[in-house]
Structure 1
Amino acid sequence: MIGLTKIIVAGFKGRMGATAVDMVLNHDGFELVGVYDPVATEKNLNEVAGYADQNVPVLTLEQVPDVTPDVWIDFTIPKAAVANTKFALEHHISPVIGTTGFKAEEVAALKQLSKEQGVGGLIAPNFGLTAVLMMQFAKQAAKYFPDVEIIEMHHDNKLDAPSGTAIKTAEMMAEVRAQKEQGNPNEKETLKGARGANYDGMHIHSVRLPGLIAHQQVQFGGVGEGLTIRQDTYDRVSFMTGVALACEKVTAAHELFEGLENFL
């Protein structure tokens, strides 16, 4: 299998991790050389329902270097993902991280480590191409409409709020938006939290309901007009186009990037 990109998927027991496993197995340019999950009791992927014909080892961290992977795909939880990213960079494996909830100082430290190691990587709050476009469009609109609020909606099992996508959107808008505290300065919350979280004067509202996957609306208001930019994810498979793109390009990089737009 010379020429194939050798990939490990961390968090393969979760929904996004399982979707990533399927993507790698069905991609002509990739080879799944192992899967990892600290709570897994299986020794091989063929012990998992639906993968009876696959011979892919379930690895411990100590075993990972033995299969010489090129890329580490991570859909785990923030605490684990930070340690996993550090491990990958230290072992010259390019991380492609879809886990959200990283702290700014954690990302900064990982970026520094990637430069020291000369290993490329990507942390992306969202791998959906429509989500990337939504963030780019919102950034353009924020130049002209400083009055804006973000409503992000996800399934009820999501661990972090606001979502990484919402925070990234707010960060991107803050780069070009005129400083303004959104809302009436004299308003009073009769129920604490009614106005949502505040990021640089912009309000972010998080909705968590069963039946949802990932959705975000960026709503702008102007004098006599309004603009709504909305993105909807109906199936987790939509994220895999971006994950595959990152896996194809990340090994040619020499630093850790934030956001899929860096590889588009």
Structure 2
Amino acid sequence: MTTKKKIRVCVAGATGWAGSELCKGIVLTADLELVSAVSRKSAGKDLNELLNLSNKQKIPVFGTIEEALAIPCDVLVEYTKPDIAKHQVITAIQHGVNVVVGASGLSDADYEEIGAVADENKQAVLAVGNFAISVVLLNKFAEMAAKYMPNWEIIDYASDAKVDSPSGSTLELANKLAKVSASNKTIPIEDTKGIKETRGADINGMQVHSVRLPGYVIALETIFGMEDEKLILKHEAGNSAKPYVQGALLAIRKVDTFTGLKRGLDNVMDFNS
């Protein structure tokens, strides 16, 4: 009987809040193998020691993606900051490695460029604004609601320490809803009396408001309104990164099932079964 080959994974941002929790999940998963990591602050160390992992083999930590890719891998999970994420994603693609993007802050223009590179190199990129299953369901339900309720706005909540605004989860949702239609505005924003900026930012034809305050981790809310009725869809995250692990593991397993760029975990999930 032939043993199925494990999927070899490199995690960029492996010592971060979400990346470290994912690494712990990977080493406990039979069909995945964590072979390397990227963390500029921890370069040269063993990830096993840094995260107290139970892995028997050394997991080297590198300071750059170029160094990390010297160790063969099948999938890069990108969990770093937007200022370096695009470079690392494109570098991995050009090295024949599929990519799962968990970093937030990349723009639609960034993804257009990434998608073109993926197509050119016949590799796959699965960009996921939020790996939590509740967020995947929120996105799906919001797409359904947008077909019947034409007025909506999005509120994006996060900690005061979050530097990017809006969040990757919000950008992903706005991207999906834009494919349904632009949100209807009874009074055009340019006709607003007073301070127009209080109406939020226009992203793909809908108003988005970002709240950054202590006490929040990540929350995402879409409010649909019609005369005498409204629908509120809201996801709230706690302090742990555990809710994101199962979705990320699913993304790693599914990223080789297509070529090019897909945005959203729902693209590789079966909602019909």
Q: So what's the TM-score if we normalise by structure 2?
A: 0.87
CA contact (8 A) 1:181 1:200 kept: no
The secondary structure found in structure 1 opposite 2:162 is coil
2:123 matches 1:119: yes
Q: Identify which range, 171-180 or 8-17, moves more after superposition.
A: 171-180
User: Aligned-pair distance for 1:33?
Assistant: 0.5
Instruction: Decide which of 157, 160, 172 is 1:168's aligned counterpart.
Output: 172
Task: State how many pairs are aligned.
Answer: 263
Aligned to 1:109: 113
Preserved CA contact (<8 Å) 2:156 2:209: yes
For residue 29 of structure 1, report the CA deviation from its aligned partner. 1.1
Q: CA deviation at 1:49?
A: 5.2
Measured in 2, the distance between the counterparts of 1:88 and 1:262 equals: 21
In structure 1, how many angstroms separate the alpha carbons of the residues matched to 2:169 and 2:4?
Answer: 36
| Candidates 141, 154, 161, aligned match of 2:158 | 154
- Shift of the alpha carbon at 1:139? 1.5
Among 192, 204, 224, which residue is 2:208 paired with?
204
Q: Secondary structure at the match of 1:193?
A: helix
Q: Which of 245, 251, 254 matches 2:256?
A: 251
Aligned to 1:66, the other structure's residue is in SS state coil
CA offsets per residue over residues 80-106 of structure 1, 9 Å max, x none? 110011111011111111012222222
- Over 3 Å counting, the alpha-carbon distance change for 1:20 and 1:195 in structure 2 is same
Deviation at 1:188, TM superposition (A): 2.3
1:182/1:132 CA distance change after superposition, 3 Å:
farther
Q: Give the match for residue 133 of structure 1.
A: 137
C-alpha change, 1:256 and 1:201, in structure 2 (3 Å) is closer
Q: Is the 8 A contact 1:23 1:240 kept in 2?
A: yes
**Match in the other structure for 1:262:** 267
Determine if contact 2:182/2:204 at 8 Å carries over to the other structure: no
Aligned mates of 2:118, 2:135 — CA distance in 1 = 26
User: Are 2:220 and 2:234, in contact at CA under 8 Å, matched by a contact in 1?
Assistant: yes
Letter in 2 for 1:6: R
Q: Does 1:188 align with 2:193?
A: yes
Q: Which amino acid aligns with 1:119?
A: Q
User: For residue 213 of structure 1, what is the aligned residue in structure 2?
Assistant: 217
Q: What is the RMSD of the two structures over their aligned residues, measured on CA atoms?
A: 2.2
Of all paired residues, the percent bearing the same amino acid is 30
Question: Map of 1:226-241 to 2, 5 A cutoff?
Answer: 226-234=230-238, 235-241=240-246
Given residue 106 of structure 2, which amino acid in structure 1 is its aligned partner?
Answer: F
Runs of 4+ deviating beyond 3 Å: 51-54, 60-63, 182-187
Match of 1:22 among 21, 24, 27: 24
Matched, 1:57 2:65: no
| Cα contact 1:182–1:203 (8 A) shared by 2 | no
How much does 1:79 deviate? 2.0
Give the letter aligned to residue 58 of structure 1: V
2 CA distance for matches of 1:256 and 1:150? 24
In structure 2, distance between residues paired with 1:31 and 1:194 = 48
Instruction: Tell whether the 8 Å contact from 2:174 to 2:206 is kept in structure 1 after alignment.
Output: yes
Q: Which runs of 5+ in 2 are unaligned?
A: none
How far apart are 1:144 and its partner, in Å?
2.0
